[in-house]
């Protein structure tokens, strides 16, 4: 038999290895506890250096302390976009989705957002747009996702109109500290 270090004992099978390791750790439990305790102390002391700076405004938790950003004007704009999108139709569902993706890209470009169209492997198109946060550092973001081609055409038009207006309203907010990304995917 092969000779192992004295602290390991003899190892003939996986079960014996587990038993041997357990006995080894338990026989030195006090030393292991001291080492783990020291590691915990170091982690607690290092936490302020490793933690991200986060600010939570306590007024955000008070009912009525903030005002809503989405108002009647925004609802009308979302409704207008939905009305336009209802008229954007092709002879097939696939063509309707493609035309709506093109409309979304044009609408985002017209509003001054970075927008990109990415072809899919099956001939579809995905669109994504980025609203850069004025107070952000570009390392964090929030993502809105809209799937096209998987629901009723009218419901999809309303969803896109609402998502576009929410993206525009929140994306232009001066308090926004994270970039906002909207991804419209071809769900067919």
58 located within any domain: no
115 located within any domain: yes
d(C-alpha 184, C-alpha 91), whole Å: 21
d(C-alpha 27, C-alpha 25), whole Å: 5
Mark whether 107 and 175 lie in a shared domain: yes
Q: What is the pLDDT of residues 50-90, one digit of tens each?
A: 776 666 655 555 555 556 677 788 888 888 888 888 888 77
7 located within any domain: no
Mark whether 22 and 95 lie in a shared domain: no
Domain that includes residue 111, residue range:
72-186
Question: Radius of gyration of the chain from Cα atoms?
Answer: 28
In the 3-class helix/strand/coil scheme, how is 51-120 assigned residue by residue?
CCCCCCCHHHHCCCCCCCCCCHHHHHHHHHHHHHHHHCCCCCHHHHHHHHHHHHHHHHHHCCCEEEEEEC
d(C-alpha 167, C-alpha 182), whole Å: 7
Structure tokens at 27: 């026989």
Q: How confident is the model at residue 39 (pLDDT cuts 50, 70, 90)?
A: very high
Q: Please give the pLDDT value at position 12.
A: 58
């Amino acid at each position: 038999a092969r000779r192992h270090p004295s602290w390991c004992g003899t190892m003939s099978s996986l079960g014996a290895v587990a038993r041997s390791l357990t006995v080894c750790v338990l026989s030195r439990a006090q030393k292991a506890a001291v080492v783990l305790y020291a590691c915990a102390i170091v982690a607690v002391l290092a936490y302020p250096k490793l933690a991200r700076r986060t600010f939570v405004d306590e007024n955000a938790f008070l009912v009525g302390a903030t005002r809503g950003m989405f108002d009647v004007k925004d609802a009308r704009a979302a409704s207008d976009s939905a009305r336009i999108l209802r008229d954007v139709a092709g002879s097939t569902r696939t063509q309707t989705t493609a035309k709506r993706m093109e409309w979304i890209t044009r609408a985002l470009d017209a509003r001054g957002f970075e927008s990109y169209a990415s072809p899919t492997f099956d001939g579809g198109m995905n669109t994504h747009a980025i609203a850069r946060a004025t107070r952000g550092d570009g390392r964090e973001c929030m993502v809105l996702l809209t799937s096209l081609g998987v629901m009723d055409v009218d419901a999809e038009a309303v969803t896109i109109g609402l998502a576009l207006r929410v993206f525009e309203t929140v994306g232009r907010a001066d308090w926004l500290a994270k970039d906002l990304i909207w991804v419209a995917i071809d769900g067919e």
